[in-house]
Structure 1
């Protein structure tokens, strides 16, 4: 592949774990980085920070009932989780490929808030890839099924999100993803 990393932009959240790791890799490979956050949100990476005000957050405001129904589990009605869900909208809305790290559940959703980024990717018809930490492999959402895959970053704008509890295997798989895409 002959991708010029400086022409690519990672959209993420700068959160501890997978998002911070995506950011470190973007920096290492010369990929531009945008991290969405909001007042009162603690993040590990503030490179390319884009603070979302109330008006911007509202653009990502989807009823928590819809989020709960789509993911088949309930989320707190609290304001913090709502803002996190709203900020995830901005990552996925800007990224034309979605990369996530976490756990695929038996109902085919992904665990936690990461799952909302994955579901939005599906809703927006984006290529979606999840590194499944227990199975130690990448999976792609194809024909309403998770299929093993070897992803490459090929869209100039891509989203990276995932668990705060990143395994060493997942970090190595993320490194391999960037290496495959930009070397």
Structure 2
């Protein structure tokens, strides 16, 4: 695969998304960062600021998001915009890579979990690096151990702001396995 024809989609936040962006930039992979007015980013290269109308295209019921992720989201404007932004990331990228923590119920902890749930709904190839077990998993109606590669020219890199050394190494190894060093 020609890495210069690939595009990484993220929201440019500190931690996993910043690290995905740095790994992509090192390899001349295109990067698109979705955000909204007033959102603080750690990476701001090729940023697309979503308009209110564009954000609303990714609108979801906070009740539905809460139910799907087995947690409570309060009706706050910022969390709604974050979830709407994640919709645009997952809608743009074909393959989804997430760094986080897989919970006992199979969901992924935090807002990152919304990218996982959307990838499942959109039937995207979905890979999660579970920081506690230091292992990649692929979604096959349950989590199955995996050693993923980037195999599509559009992909999403998302995940926790609290990136461990194992998570950072997993991102770097993913890019090495996919494109070489």
Q: TM-score, normalised by structure 2?
A: 0.98
In the alignment, which of 37, 40, 60 is matched to residue 39 of structure 1?
Answer: 37
Which residue does 1:68 correspond to in 2?
66
Deviation at 1:76, TM superposition (A): 2.0
Paired with 1:39 and 1:76, the residues of 2 have a C-alpha distance of: 21
| Correspondence list, 1:12-27, <5 A | 12-27=10-25
Distance (Å, rounded) in 1 between the aligned partners of 2:102 and 2:170: 16
Match of 2:78 in 1: 80
Q: Does 1:131 align with 2:150?
A: no
Match of 1:120 in 2: 118
Say whether residues 1:148 and 2:155 are aligned partners: no
Where does structure 1 differ by over 2 angstroms across 4 or more consecutive aligned residues?
Answer: none
SS in 2 for 1:88: helix
Write out per-residue CA displacement over residues 129-176 of structure 1, whole angstroms, 9 at most, x where no aligned residue.
00000000100001x110000000011000110000000111011000
Which 5+ residue runs of structure 1 have no aligned equivalent?
A: none
**What SS does structure 2 have at the residue aligned with 1:129?**
strand
The residue number in structure 2 matching 1:161 is 158
Q: Structure 1: how far apart are the matches of 2:21 and 2:149?
A: 17
Matched with 1:51 is: 49
Residue ranges of structure 2 left out of the alignment (5+ in a row): none
Correspondence for 1:104: 102
Deviations 1:110-140 (A, max 9, x none): 0000000000000000010000000001000
